[in-house]
Amino acid sequence: MLSKSAKTVVRTRFPVRALATPAESNTTSHAPQLKYQPLSKAQKAFLERVVRVDQAGELGANYIYAGQYFVLANRYPHLKPVLKHMWEQEIHHHDTFNQLQTAKRVRPSIMTPFWKVGAFGIGLSTASLSKEAAMACTVAVETVIGGHYNEQLRVLMNQFSIGAVDAETGEVIANPPVSPEIASLKETVKQFRDEELEHLDTALEHDAEKAVPYMLLTEAIKATCKVAIWTAERI
């Protein structure tokens, strides 16, 4: 049981309002219910690409960690919890984008079987080289993914100020807030970007730069990731 003062602290630090979903927030406040304008074709195409490529990317990350864990978990027991933690976060990211893909009716990448085999193969082969090579692989992948999420965030921030009217009166709202759907997507991308960059730091802390040949490995994997992103965005 929490003491009264502890409860006060909890209330102050985690206001219930902040935890409410956008729909709940609207029902408890006097703010008008907004009816947003439709997305343009270009905006829809962009969002479709975001969901498809991020789903494929997180699938790839999930399978890379699976391959690394398969080789390294028993060989280096001290790395087991580190890899497990990163892998579980990637599984969560993957599940989140899977749900978004089905909820938003987005076509998944047609190359999904290839991404699975390729990603598991990259994880398996780099881990087989050495634990440092596995960490160098993580550095390369997370660098590209982090940059890619940043690029998406820039577009989501700049290009999704969409007009709205009051749902009851039809009055045009000046400078309406971003719709809860886009705001939620931005938060998801931002959170995942931060977690990917944490993985990058973790890999650097675990001697990624001691991998031989570090530059060749990371640059080759980065190039592969970029080609994969380009492809998954489109097909």
Q: Residue 93 CB, nearest distance to other proteins (Å)? A: 13
* Interatomic CA distance for residues 197 and 86, integer angstroms: 11
Is residue 70 within 8 A of residue 130, CB to CB? The reply is: no
Our finding on whether 230 is near other proteins (CB under 8 A) is yes
* Interatomic CA distance for residues 141 and 60, integer angstroms: 10
Our finding on whether 151 is near other proteins (CB under 8 A) is yes
Our finding on whether 21 is near other proteins (CB under 8 A) is no
* The residue to which tokens 């959170």 are assigned: 191
* Interatomic CA distance for residues 54 and 61, integer angstroms: 10
Q: Which residues pair with 173 in a beta bridge?
A: 164
Our finding on whether 65 is near other proteins (CB under 8 A) is no
Q: Around Cβ 143, how many Cβ atoms within 10 Å?
A: 18
Residue list for the binding site for Fe cation: 58, 90, 93, 142, 196, 199
One of 10, 45, 215, 216 touching other proteins (CB under 8 A): 45
Residues within window 85-114 making contact with other proteins, judged by CB under 8 A: 98, 101-102, 104-108, 110, 112-113
DSSP code at position 29: S
Beta carbon nearer to other proteins, 148 or 193: 148
Q: Which amino acid is at 55?
A: Q
Our finding on whether 235 is near other proteins (CB under 8 A) is no
Q: How many residues bind other proteins (CB under 8 A)?
A: 47
Is residue 96 within 8 A of residue 188, CB to CB? The reply is: yes
Q: From residue 60, how far is each of 164, 178, 225 by CA, in Å?
A: 38, 31, 9
Our finding on whether 159 is near other proteins (CB under 8 A) is yes
Our finding on whether 40 is near other proteins (CB under 8 A) is yes
Q: Which of 155, 219, 164 is nearest to 34 (CA)?
A: 164
Q: Residue 226 CB, nearest distance to other proteins (Å)? A: 6
One of 19, 38, 77, 169 touching other proteins (CB under 8 A): 38
* The residue to which tokens 């909890």 are assigned: 10
Our finding on whether 198 is near other proteins (CB under 8 A) is no
Binding site for other proteins (CB under 8 A): 35-49, 51, 55, 98, 101-102, 104-108, 110, 112-113, 116, 147-148, 151, 155, 158-159, 161-163, 165, 179-182, 226, 229-230, 233
